[in-house]
């Protein structure tokens, strides 16, 4: 049976973002990069869908209402899912980089409400598909 992560339709990617406008923009960016991308409304939904669909990539906002993207990261780390996790947010503290490294997060990205700059930072990471991600994870510094 084919792995749903990889098919002729493209790899699966989820965007976990509370803003409709930001989510639509990032989902469109992922689709242009060849992913089958969709918005996920919460960390809990993302964790449920991960076990069902096994996405290649999850892009999540660190500042989700009443939730934490760190919970998603720790769950993925425990299950050794191989899912690439990219987190973005405001005011990323120095200790967050150590925690991200420990949890296997591919990249933490400072987001300063400039969606074009966020897209420009993310685009090369979207192009860095699973075959390249199988190597040692890159530096967390964005």
Extents of the domains making up the chain: 12-128
CA angle in degrees (0–180, nearest 5) for 21-24-28: 140
Q: In whole angstroms, what separates CA 21 from the centre of its chain?
A: 17
* pLDDT for residue 133: 44
Helices (H), 36-141: 43-53, 69-79, 94-103, 115-127, 130-133
pLDDT at 24 over 90: yes
What value does the mean pLDDT take over residues 11-25? 95
Q: Which CATH number fits domain 12-128: 2.60.40.3880, 3.40.50.300, 3.30.360.10, 3.40.50.2300?
A: 3.40.50.2300
Tell me the C-alpha distance between 57 and 40, whole Å: 12
Predicted pLDDT at 2: 42
Mean pLDDT rounded to a whole number for the chain: 83
pTM for this one?
A: 0.81
Q: Is the pLDDT of residue 17 over 50?
A: yes
Q: What is the pLDDT of residue 132?
A: 46
pLDDT digits (tens, 9 = 90+) for 65-113: 777 788 888 887 777 668 899 999 988 999 999 989 988 899 999 999 9
- pLDDT of 39 > 80? The answer is yes
pLDDT at 32 over 70: yes
CA angle at residue 104 from 93 to 96, to 5 degrees?
A: 5
């Amino acid at each position: 049976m084919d792995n749903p992560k990889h098919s002729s339709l493209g790899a699966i990617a989820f965007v976990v973002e509370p803003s409709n406008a930001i989510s639509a923009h990032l989902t469109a960016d992922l689709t242009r990069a060849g992913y089958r991308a969709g918005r996920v409304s919460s960390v809990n939904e993302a964790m449920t869908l991960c076990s069902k669909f096994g996405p290649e990539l999850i892009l999540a906002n660190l500042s989700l209402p009443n939730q934490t993207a760190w919970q998603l990261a720790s769950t993925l780390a425990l299950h050794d899912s191989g899912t690439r996790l990219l987190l973005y947010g405001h005011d990323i503290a120095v200790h967050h980089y150590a925690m991200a490294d420990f949890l296997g997060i591919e990249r933490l990205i400072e987001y300063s409400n400039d969606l074009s700059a966020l897209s420009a930072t993310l685009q090369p990471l979207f192009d860095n598909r699973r075959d390249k991600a199988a190597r040692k994870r890159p530096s967390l510094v964005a």
